[in-house]
Amino acid sequence: MPHPKKRKERDDGSKGQRNKRSKHFYANAGRHIEANWKGIFATCDTGRESRCVAELYRLFEEYADKLYGPEDAGTEALMPNEAEDEPGEGEDKAKDKDKDDDRDIESEIAAEISNINAKKTKKGKRITSIKLDTQCLIFFHTRAPVDPAELVAYIFKDIEGSRKRQTRFTNRLTPISRTGKANYENLEVIAKEVLQPHFHSGRTGIKFAIRPNLRDHNVMNRDEIIKTVARAVGTEHKVDLKNYELLVIVEVFRNICGVSVVRDFEHYKRFNLAKVLDESDARTDEKACGVAPE
pLDDT along the chain (294 residues), means of 10: 50 46 45 94 95 96 97 47 43 53 69 63 79 93 97 97 94 98 98 97 95 97 98 97 97 97 97 87 48 47
Distance CA 231, CA 90 (A): 47
What's the pLDDT score for residue 33? 96
pLDDT at 104: 72
Domains annotated for the chain, with CATH where assigned, are 31-175 (no CATH), 179-270 (3.30.2300.10)
Cis amide bond preceding 293, omega within 30: no
pLDDT at position 115: 66
Q: What is the pLDDT of residue 95?
A: 52
Question: What's the CA gap between 237 and 110, in Å, rounded?
Answer: 47
Torsions phi, psi of 2, nearest 5? -65, 145
Q: What is the DSSP letter of 33?
A: -
Task: Residue 265: name the closest of 161, 149, 163 by CA.
Answer: 149
Q: How far is CA 241 from CA 53, 198, 290, in A?
A: 33, 18, 7
Under a CB-based contact definition with an 8 Å cutoff, are residues 209 and 239 in contact? yes
CA–CA distance from 258 to each of 41, 73, 147, 181 (Å)? 10, 32, 14, 9
Taking the C-alpha atoms of residue 196 and residue 199, their distance in angstroms, rounded to an integer, is 6
Q: Chain centroid to CA 97: how far?
A: 28
Model-level pTM? 0.73
For 207, residues 6+ apart whose C-beta sits below 8 A from its C-beta are 237, 238, 239, 240, 243, 244, 245, 246
CB 22 within 8 A of CB 82: no
* Res 8: pLDDT: 47
Name the percent of the chain in helix, strand, coil, to the closest 5: 45, 20, 35
